[in-house]
Amino acid sequence: MSLVGNILGVRANILIGPSPVALPMPIEALNAIEELEVKLSDTDASGFRLVLHAGRNGPLDFLETPFVGDRRFSVGARLVVTIICDITPTVIFDGLVSERHVSPGDGPRDGRLTLLGRDLSVEMDREVRQTEHPAMDETAIATIIAGSYAQFGMIPMVLPPRVIDQPIPIDRTPQQRCSDWAYLNHMANRHGYQTYVDPGPAPLTNTLYWGPNPRPGIQQRTITINSGPASDAYDIDISHTAERLTIVQGQVFDRTTGTTMPVLSLVPSSEPMGLVPEGVARMGQTRVIPLETSGLNFAQAMARAQAIVDESARDVVTVTGTLNTAQYNGVLKARDRVDLRGAGLSFNGTYKVSEVRHRLKPGSYSQGFVLTRGELGPRSPMVRP
């Protein structure tokens, strides 16, 4: 499927088929694509919407609307989308069809088939499990869960938290009474971590990430705004707020030592992406909340207090906009870092890509984005091109 062009063009490669299989989409379906929208987010569910022309035309369509009877387009089918800019392929989505809508229309060739779906977290959320994880901390549990989805090419990227509370079998055994996906999120929330399924690096493979926010790694191509012909993004809006900034204080009776100990978390612990963390600059002006510590030891209480503070400082600065794909000449990946320049001294610098919306139509491709961070000002006076 050809989209907007640069030197070698921007193309889309789509695989679809009964899960866990996915084969190249048939040519008649590629020609019938009206629109494909993919949303990847670290705050909301990631998913897709695919609209196909499916109007009846001729005797072969008398019994059934085109594509509706094909198992490759049924509920539960797997969809993989890869964007190729010049010669560089990037997998932007891998998920399952969860819903179909058929609109017959009022005349020949007027029908529509709309497929809706979510990323592979929906597969991990399908079964409620009642199991134990004896003598395993959260890092080991997350790695084992990822390994149980090898049929989807799941690769674990599990990073140990700052505070590891190793369970001792004679003291406690971690109990799972929910789906794998719910349990991964439950464990991540204790440490201010995130968990998500990242498509790629190759088609039909995925990475289960369980670790700090943002994910460590190489930054993406810089986004340039308000710089004349050098600009590669437009419709920019920058929001700056500190309403959610929080500090946590309280005390906990540590069952290990038998003493009452103070619990206090004042500033975010995550690596700053800007020069001046708002949690530090507004010390004494943020809201203060207590921490429910019943049943926790000191290590657990401190980890949860720090997680609350880190979460409150993630989106102090939010930048929204749309990429000019031909000018940017690349695919913006959600949840990774990217530099922004042209926004002025306060808002230039490194951000996390919190959300990307890929909108594909025959002949066009746009990427809407949301960038977030908890600091003002770049860490260095010059933002790399």
| Cβ neighbours of residue 72 closer than 8 Å, sequence gap 6 or more | 16, 17, 18, 23, 25, 26
What are residue 101's DSSP bridge partners? 114
Q: List, for residues 246-270, the tens digit of each pLDDT value.
A: 999 888 887 777 788 898 888 888 8
156 against 385, higher pLDDT:
156
Average pLDDT over residues 269-276: 86
Cβ neighbors of 228 (< 8 A, separation 6 or more) are none
- pLDDT tens digits along 309-345: 888 888 899 999 999 988 898 999 999 999 999 999 9
DSSP β-bridge partners for residue 33: 52
**CB count, 10 Å around CB of 83?**
24
C-alpha to C-alpha distance for 306 and 312, rounded to whole angstroms: 10
Residue 356 has a pLDDT of 97
Domains belonging to the chain, first-starting first, are: 10-119 (2.40.10), 124-211 (3.55.50), 220-240+316-376 (2.30.300.10), 246-312 (no CATH)
Structure tokens at 328: 């940017």
Q: Give the pTM.
A: 0.88
Q: How confident is the model at residue 34 (pLDDT cuts 50, 70, 90)?
A: very high
Query: Higher confidence at residue 87 or residue 24?
Result: 24
Length of the chain as a residue count = 385
- Going by C-alpha positions, the residue among 110, 50, 109, 44 that lies closest to residue 77 is 50
Query: CA angle, 110 as apex, 108 and 111 as ends, to 5°?
Result: 110
Residue with tokens 């039909």: 204
The predicted structure's pLDDT at residue 5: 47
Query: How large is the average pLDDT for residues 354-360?
Result: 96
What are the residues facing 289 on neighbouring strands? 248
DSSP-derived pairing of the beta strands 287-289 and 246-254? parallel
DSSP letter, residue 3? -
Q: Are 114 and 53 in contact (CB under 8 A)?
A: no
